[in-house]
Amino acid sequence: MNPRQDAAAATSGRSQLIRTVRNALPWYLFIAPASLMLLTLMAYPLFDTLRLSLFKWGGLGPQTFIGMRNFAKLFGDEVFWRALGNSFIFAIVVPFFTVSIGLFLGVAISRRMKGWQVYRIAFFIPVMMSGVVVATLWANMFEYNHGLFNTVLRGIGLDGLAQNWLGDRNVALMSVMLVPIWQSVGFPMIVLLAAIEGIPQEMHDAATMDGVNEWQRIWGLIVPLIKPVLASITMLSIIGAMKVFDLVLVMTKGGPAFSTQVLGYYLFETAFRSGNFGYGSAIAVVMFVVVFAVAYGYVRGVRIESVEY
Amino acid sequence: MAVDRVTSRPTEGSIQGGKTAGWWAGSSLRPIIYGLLVVGALIQVYPIFFLLMNTLKTDTQILNTPFSLPTNFSLAPYVDVWTGDRTGMFFGRYFFNSVIVLAATLVLMLAISCLCGYAMARGQFPGNATLHQVLLLSLAVPAHALAIPLYFFVGSLGLRNSLFGLTLVYAAIGAPFTIILMRAYFMHLPVELEEAARIDGCGRLGVFLRIVVPISRGPIAGMAIININWIWSELFFSLILMNKADVRTLPLAIALYKPAPMTVETVLGLQYAAMALATIPVLILFFLFQRQIASGMTMGAFK
C-alpha cells in the first residue's frame, strides 16, 4: 500500500514485523466495532445453538446434557417431518412461480409492450410491503364467510368453488403459498429486467437480421445470456422460501392439522411457546444445515465484486 | 451506483430497432400476452387498493359490499388507531417505535459497516482475507438459527423489551451484507485523494471521516434505502424480544391485533387503518426512490 514504508521495512525482518503491526493497528480499530458485534450477536449465538441442541433445557434451571437424543426425537417427530416437507414444498413451488412469471414479465417489459412502465410499477409495489400486512390482508380476503374470494365466487354463481381457504387442510398450504407468489413476482422481474436490459443492442440486431421469431429470441438469445442471473435469483428465492415465518404466523399458525407447519414456525413454537429450548435448538440446527447447504453453494458461486455493469 | 445506469435505461425510452418493433406482431399470442399483463397488473394492485379503501368503510360495508367505494371520506379510523383510545392498541406509539428502530439501526449498521468495509478495502493486515470469507459465509446463515441464544443473551444484557436491544440485533444481522458491498465500493474508489490528505498529515480516521465519507454519501444513502424495507417489516426478532406492549414495532402490533368482529362499528376498518399506517410510508418511499430501490434490489440479488 505504501511503497516508502515497504522499502524501509525490507531492511530487517524484525523491524518489518514491528512495521506490519504498526500499520495494521489502525485498521484493527476500524474493524473492531463490526467484529465485536458480529462475534457476540452472530458467531456466539450460532455456536450456542449447536451446543444447546445437545441439551434438554426449559429456559430456567439446569441444562441437562442428553447427547444426540434431541435429534433422535426429531427423527420420530411427525410434526417435524411435516414442517421439513412443507418447507421444501415452499422452496420448490414459490420460486418456480415467482421466477417463471418474473421472467415472462421481465421479457415483456424489456420488449416495451404497450404500458410497460405501468406493469413495472404495478408488479413491483407489493415487493415493498411488509410481510405481516400482506399476510393479514390475504387472510381477510381468504376468510370463509365474508372474504373477497368467496364473495366473488358466490356472486358469480360458483358457490361450489367457495373454499375454506385457510381452514381446510387440503387447501391451506396452497392458499398460503399463493401469497408470497403474489407479493414477490416483482423481485425476479426487476432483477431479470436489469439483466435483459444489459444485453447489447447489437446482439438483438444480429438476431433480427437472422430473422428469428420472438420465441427463438427469448429461448435462444435472452435466456442463455441471463442464465447466471436467472440462477442466482432462483437460489435467492429458494433461500427466502425456506425461511418463511411471518405468513404462517399470521395466516394459519401452522394449522389446520399441521398442514402448513414449516421449519421456522415450528422452531418458534417449540422454543418460545412451549419452552423446549434444547429441542428448539435441534430444529434450528436442522434449519441452519438445510439453508446453509443451499446458500453456501450460492455464495461460492456468485462473486459480488465481479458484478459490474 | 454503477447499477443505476442499467435500470435507468428503460426510462430514457430508447425506441430502437429490435426493442419495440411490434413485438409478437401478427402473432395470435399477442392479445393473450396483453391480456395476461393487464389482468396480472390488476391482480397486483387491486388488493392494495382494497386495503386503502377499507380504511374508510364501516365493518358492514367491508363485509357485505366489498367492492363498493367508501361513501364518506373520514380519517376517523386513522385517528382511532393512532391514539388507541378506543382500541387499546396505540399505533402512534408503535409507529414511532418502528421509526426509531429503523433510524437507529441504519445509523449503527452503516457506521460500523463503512468503517469495516473501508479497512478491508484499503488496509493490509493479517486476517483481512479470512474476515472477507467469514462475512460471505455468514450471509448463508439463517437468522432463525440464532434466535434462541440471542433471546437469552439479549436478556442477560437487560435489553429485552428495549428498542436499543432490537437495534443491536438488526444491525448485526444486516451488517455482513452491508460490509461486503461497502468494501466492494471502496475498492473501486480512487485512492489518490486519500493519499494526498495523508501526506498533509491527516490520520487514517481523519481521512475516512473528512474525505471518504463525504464523497461516498451517494452509495451510503443507497445502502440505507435497500435496507429500509426489511428493517421496517421485520417480525421474527421483534416478536421474540419485545414482549411488553409499549415497545412493540408496527409489524408486531399488526400481527397481534385481533379485532373482535362486529363489537364496534368499525373494528375491521381499524385493522385496515393500522395496515395502511405501515404501508403508506413505504409507498411514498417507493415513488420517491423508485430507481434507487430497483437498482439496490438488483444489486442485492447478487448477494
Contact call for A113 and B23, based on CB within 8 A: yes
Contact predicate B257/B274, CB 8 Å: yes
Which domains occur in chain B, in start order?
Answer: 91-244+294-300 (1.10.3720.10)
pLDDT, averaged across chain B = 84
pLDDT of residue A11: 54
CB contact under 8 A, B41 and A122: yes
Express the helix, strand and coil content of chain A in percent, nearest 5 each: 75, 0, 25
| DSSP helix, strand, coil percent of chain B (3-state; round to 5) | 75, 0, 25
List strand residue ranges (DSSP E) for chain A, in order: 55-56, 64-65
DSSP string, B25-76: TT-THHHHHHHHHHHHHHHHHHHHHHHHHHTTS-HHHHHH-TTSPPSS---H
Position A236, amino acid: L
CA distance B211 to chain A (A): 16
Report the alpha-carbon distance of residue B16 to residue A236 in Å, rounded: 33
Residues of A in contact with B91 (CB under 8 A): none
Interface probe for B, chosen from A19, A40, A129 (most Cβ of B below 10 Å), is A129
H or E element, residue A61: none
Give per-residue pLDDT as tens, B131-149. Answer: 999 998 888 889 999 999 9
Question: Is pLDDT larger for residue B201 or for residue A188?
Answer: A188
Domain boundaries along the sequence of chain A: 69-306
* C-alpha closest to that of B82 among B71, B73, B95, B72: B95
Query: How does pLDDT run across A94-121, given as a tens digit for each residue?
Result: 999 999 999 999 998 888 888 888 888 9
In this structure, what C-alpha cell is assigned to residue A175? 392458499
Least Cα separation, residue A169 to chain B (angstroms): 22
Q: How far is CA B138 from each of CA A74, B57, B69, B135, B303, rounded to the nearest angstrom?
A: 26, 47, 49, 5, 11
Contacts of B278 in chain A (CB under 8 A): 130, 132-133
Cell of B130: 479470512
Gap between the Cα atoms of A304 and B2, Å rounded: 13
Chain B: closest CA distance from residue A173 (Å):
19
Residue found by looking up cell 422454543 in the block: A271
User: How many Å lie between the alpha carbon of B6 and the closest alpha carbon of chain A?
Assistant: 6
- Cβ B113 vs Cβ B222: under 8 Å: no
Residues A101 and A119: their CA atoms lie apart, in Å, by 13
Among chain B residues, CA nearest to A146: B63
Contact B125, A2 (CB under 8 A): no
Write the residue in B5, B251, B303 that is nearest to A236 by C-beta: B303
| CATH code linked to domain A69-306 | 1.10.3720.10
pLDDT above 80 (res B11): no
For the record, the C-alpha cell of A164 comes out as: 375454506
**Cross-chain residue pair B66–A151, CB shorter than 8 Å:** yes
Residue in A188, A192, A162 with CA at minimum distance from that of residue A175? A162
Task: Determine whether the interchain pair A123/B41 forms a contact, defined as Cβ–Cβ distance below 8 Å.
Answer: yes
pLDDT confidence tier of residue B13, bands split at 50, 70 and 90: very low
CB contact under 8 A, B41 and A118: yes
**Measured distance CA(B62)–CA(B55) in Å, rounded:** 9
Residue B264: per-residue pLDDT? 56
- From the list A226, A9, A214, A7, the residue with the least C-alpha distance to A103 is A226
Tell me the β-bridge partners of A64.
Answer: A56
Which pTM value belongs to this model?
Answer: 0.88
Nearest by CB: B279 against A129, A302, A307: A129
* Nearest residue in chain A measured CA to CA from B175: A34
Assess whether pLDDT exceeds 70 at residue B104: yes
In the structure grid, which three cell numbers stand for residue B185, read together?
465500493
pLDDT tens digits, residue range B178-227?
Answer: 999 999 899 988 888 888 888 888 888 888 998 899 999 888 988 898 89
Which three-class secondary structure string do you get for A158-219? CHHHCCCCCCCCCCHHHHHHHHHHHHHCHHHHHHHHHHHHCCCHHHHHHHHHCCCCHHHHHH
